[in-house]
Amino acid sequence: MSRLRRIEQVGRYFFVTTNLIRGSPPLSPPERSLCLDHLRRARAKFGFALFAYVVMPDHVHLLLSTFESALPAIIGGWKSRVAVGIARAPRKPGAIWQARYFDFVLRRASDFSKKLAYIHENPVQAGLVARPEDWTWSSAAFYIDKAAVPIEPDPFDIPVNPNEPLWPFPDRNM
């Protein structure tokens, strides 16, 4: 099976999903917190803007923009540090993450808005909480009522025009 090439340019906006490996037990609350602790460290180390996140029991969604490091280095480094941290805790031994992750390049303001809402609604849709802001391992409370969250998102002004590009496209008709 061939693999899709990753976009390794910096200066792009991405929606990323990474899943636990099949058969792995769900992330416990302390493990979810560990994921966020290492995400905070990765943001400082790899230089990326983090706009939204949610750590679910079996997967993680991120909305970010790269500016110093390419996406594969960011996600690979973060997943590796989380795996090492979790391996130190009592858990079923072995890998915890699927080898790959899924990324979606956000091209327009509407992509950003849709993915932001999707990330924050994820715990509600999964039946884990009644309101997005009630999920501890999410940036939702920051956006809904400016409450403290584990990692404060970077500022981003979503353009009013949903068709506005998030970065300059090469000379071509939009």
CATH of the domain at 20: 3.30.70.1290
pLDDT tens-digit series, residues 21-78: 998 899 999 999 999 999 999 999 999 999 999 999 999 999 999 999 999 999 999 9
* Count of the separate structural domains present in the chain: 1
Mean pLDDT over residues 130-145, rounded?
96
Position 9 scores a pLDDT of 66
- Residue 26 included in any domain: yes
Residue 20 located in a structural domain: yes
Cα 129 to Cα 69, 86, 135, 164: the distances in Å are 34, 25, 6, 33
Residue 132 is classified by DSSP as: G
Tell me the pLDDT band of 2, cut-offs 50, 70 and 90. Answer: very low
Identify the domain containing residue 23 by its residue range: 13-145
Whole-number Cα distances in Å, 122 to 131, 151, 171? 10, 18, 37
- 91-136: pLDDT as tens digits: 666 789 999 999 999 999 999 999 999 999 999 999 999 999 999 9
Determine whether 69 is exposed, middle or buried from the number of CB atoms within 10 Å of its CB (0-12, 13-18, 19+): middle
